Structure 1
Amino acid sequence: MTARVLIVDDIPTNVRLLEARLTAEYYDVVSATSGPQALAICDSQDVDIVLLDVMMPDMDGFEVCRRLKANPKTLHIPVLMVTALDQPSDRVKGLEVGADDFLTKPVDDMQLMARVKSLVRLKSLTDELRARAMTGQQLAVEDSLRAMDRISTNGGSILIIDTDQRHAERLKSYLTPEHDVDILTQPSDAVFQVTGAHYELALVSMAMADFDPLRVCSQIRTLEHTRHLPIILVAEEADKPKVVRALDLGVNDFISRPVERNELAARVRTQIRRQRYALELRQSVTNTMALAVTDELTGLYNRRYFDRHLGMMLGKAQSQDRNMALMILDIDHFKSVNDTHGHDSGDVVLKEFAARLKRNIRGIDLACRFGGEEFVVLMPDTEYRQAESVAERVRQSIADRPFELGGGKTLAMTVSAGVTLNESGADTAESLVKRADVALYRAKREGRNRVVFDAA
């Protein structure tokens, strides 16, 4: 996933060093040499993340961060503070003025890329939620964003997963009484523990006897209601390679041992604030979306909403030179379901199909009912391999388990899918839909129950 990174530092050598590292990973990099210049760039351009030096003349990084987070137009931009200060109090001050994370000079390459990837992923999800809100009925996005300042981080519900009871109790003592904390010393019970619970954060130790901590995190992510649960890893210095993999799997943050009390408290507050903010945004979208843009049977967005949203997202992808994928799906032999079992059974299949579709796409993907038994998925910031992975996961979820029609009757179903990618500035919404439709037709013609990419 690419992104536009703003580097703010008054020392040209530092800027060039960070720029070289990020450009090598295909990030689009812009730079500023002062706080006021950085604020002007964020106010006038699309910036996905700010790497902000603390020690600058006239306006230091703390003040720049405070102003970014006080401006409704820029408060959603993640800020990664880069500092030579190594005192915990300095790091905590950065987090408390609104910084999303920090790096200590000299900057470690692994930590740099891990933090940037994590924050870019968060920004991408936030952007998609804001875009959906705007598409619905020109919702008051600024009001929703200002809600970030009103969100309290007290009373968080936290689960600590660690096979070492003594270590877990120490972490718990750092977080209480501000938060409600549970301890789980049997990681194999993690899925059972979070099922039906309402945790807002999980702290997972990397030093667990006989258990793979990444497997524990992955299992938590498989549950629908904990898919967006923030996870912080508690890691040792030797765990760096696994931390990178964990962040790619969707883990939100990590903290190194020995754990400093104030830093832990600040990181926990940051994740709980994000979680509550994202929940408020999702509820805002749900509660204010007019029935005119929702398909009553499946609960997905309808064709009218999709047409409008596709045009907006395509324009954004083209202006920022980003990838985007479009998938059209058609339930195979659906007409025979209605003809043989009746329209009530057809409705059951459509509703269950929509439910499986939503469970097997990503948080940033948008699923809509295109019409009849056709569905469409819009995938922002997605290249070929990612689109193929999502499409195959959806296809398998339909074919692997029969649909229950009631009365003990089941029905095996399959789906065909056509996928296309945004290829150039000349693409239009109509041309994307046409290419995906042609690919879908090929999937049908070649035997159904398959995914085909357009050959354009």
Structure 2
Amino acid sequence: LNIAVSNIQAQLVMLKQNEHLLYISSTDQLSKLKNRRALQDFIILENEKLGRYRTRRKFTLQETIAFIDLDNFKYYNDTYGHETGDLLITCFAQLLKQIFRKVDFIARFGGDEFVCVLSDTSCTEGKRAAQRLYQGLEERNYFINDIEAFLHRKLEIPKVKRLGFSMGLCSNYDVEDNANLDIVLANADKALYYSKQHGKGCVSSWAEIKESVSDVEEPPCRTGRADLK
């Protein structure tokens, strides 16, 4: 009996260790959101699920991907230091978790970019979520109070330098292969780049911009668009 108990305890310890390793490998340590690797794994599983629904049930679930990039983030990094930038990443991540649903998959893509995979959601509903996110930022005073508490001093931040975000949206209903979220993610990224080019605080839908422009320019890189901050 003692040997059996010891074996069970050893297995429980190993199980907890494996769970901790999985958490570390799939979680962004700064924001506590899922990381880019976890996002890629999630998209693979979702592609398989969407394909099964389409084949067996003759029905395609609708999913929308929101690609988000913070506006004016570079200003805070350059003016108040990288630790303040880290604080803003943490605060914005918390706000994302408050605004979006538990069924939505939220990840920090890298730098000040975030990706949300919205289940059973259209781009129109994604825009409504963006408005709730803007409202949440305003209610939190654009995290200015958090920065002041962190720096232990009052700040005079110009209105044009308040933290904001731009967003690109794409639904799997807006692409030819609606069981391929990789394409949806790529188009959401293009829609985000379009938003950044056309002014801060914009939300663009791929379904809308692909008809209005003859050639949507490819983003120069998928993270750290310093030229567009």
Equivalent positions of 1:133-148 (< 5 A) are: none
What do the CA deviations read for 1:236-281 (whole angstroms, capped 9, x no partner)? Answer: xxxxxxxxxxxxxxxxxxxxxxxxxxxxxxxxxxxxxxxxxxxxxx
Instruction: Tell me which residue corresponds to 1:392.
Output: 131
1:384 Cα offset (Å): 2.9
Whether 1:448 and 2:200 are equivalent positions in the alignment is yes
1:288 Cα offset (Å): 7.3
Equivalent positions of 1:106-185 (< 5 A) are: none
Instruction: Tell me which residue corresponds to 1:241.
Output: none
Q: 1:305 to 1:323 in 2, by over 3 A?
A: same
1:448 Cα offset (Å): 1.1
The answer to whether the 8 Å contact 1:324/1:381 transfers is: yes
What do the CA deviations read for 1:116-159 (whole angstroms, capped 9, x no partner)? Answer: xxxxxxxxxxxxxxxxxxxxxxxxxxxxxxxxxxxxxxxxxxxx
- Structure 2 residue matching 1:377: 3-state secondary structure: strand
Q: Quick one: which of 40, 64, 67 aligns to 1:307?
A: 40
Give the count of matched residue pairs. Answer: 171
| Structure 2: distance between partners of 1:448 and 1:315 | 36
Instruction: Tell me which residue corresponds to 2:114.
Output: 375
Q: Quick one: which of 33, 50, 62 aligns to 1:317?
A: 50
- Structure 2 residue matching 1:327: 3-state secondary structure: strand
The answer to whether the 8 Å contact 2:89/2:112 transfers is: yes
Q: Quick one: which of 337, 341, 349 aligns to 2:76?
A: 337
What do the CA deviations read for 1:365-397 (whole angstroms, capped 9, x no partner)? Answer: 111000000000011111233222222212332
User: Which one is further off, 439-448 or 309-318?
Assistant: 309-318
What do the CA deviations read for 1:290-335 (whole angstroms, capped 9, x no partner)? Answer: 2011000010000000011012113323432110000010001212
| Structure 2: distance between partners of 1:385 and 1:440 | 16
1:429 Cα offset (Å): 3.3
Q: 1:399 to 1:438 in 2, by over 3 A?
A: farther
Q: Quick one: which of 178, 191, 196 aligns to 1:439?
A: 191
Give the counterpart letter for 2:73 in structure 1: F
RMSD: 2.0
TM-score, normalised with respect to structure 1: 0.36
Q: 1:442 to 1:425 in 2, by over 3 A?
A: closer
The answer to whether the 8 Å contact 2:27/2:33 transfers is: yes
1:422 Cα offset (Å): 0.4
What do the CA deviations read for 1:154-204 (whole angstroms, capped 9, x no partner)? Answer: xxxxxxxxxxxxxxxxxxxxxxxxxxxxxxxxxxxxxxxxxxxxxxxxxxx
| Structure 2: distance between partners of 1:306 and 1:384 | 20
Instruction: Tell me which residue corresponds to 2:142.
Output: 402
Greater share of residues in helix: 2
Give the counterpart letter for 2:99 in structure 1: N
| Structure 2: distance between partners of 1:362 and 1:293 | 19
- Which one scores higher on RCO, CA 8 angstroms, separation ≥ 6? 2
- Structure 1 residue matching 2:191: 3-state secondary structure: helix
1:418 Cα offset (Å): 0.5
Q: For structure 1, which runs of at least 5 residues remain unmatched after alignment? A: 1-285
Give the counterpart letter for 2:24 in structure 1: L
Instruction: Tell me which residue corresponds to 2:167.
Output: 417
1:287 Cα offset (Å): 6.3
| Structure 2: distance between partners of 1:441 and 1:399 | 24
- Structure 1 residue matching 2:30: 3-state secondary structure: coil
| Structure 2: distance between partners of 1:436 and 1:350 | 21
The answer to whether the 8 Å contact 1:317/1:324 transfers is: no
The answer to whether the 8 Å contact 2:65/2:184 transfers is: yes
Whether 1:430 and 2:182 are equivalent positions in the alignment is yes
Q: 1:425 to 1:454 in 2, by over 3 A?
A: closer
Greater share of residues in strand: 1
Q: 1:384 to 1:318 in 2, by over 3 A?
A: farther
| Structure 2: distance between partners of 1:331 and 1:409 | 23
Identity %: 30
Asked which structure has the greater CA Rg, the reply is: 1
- Structure 1 residue matching 2:118: 3-state secondary structure: strand
Q: For structure 2, which runs of at least 5 residues remain unmatched after alignment? A: 1-18, 54-59, 211-229
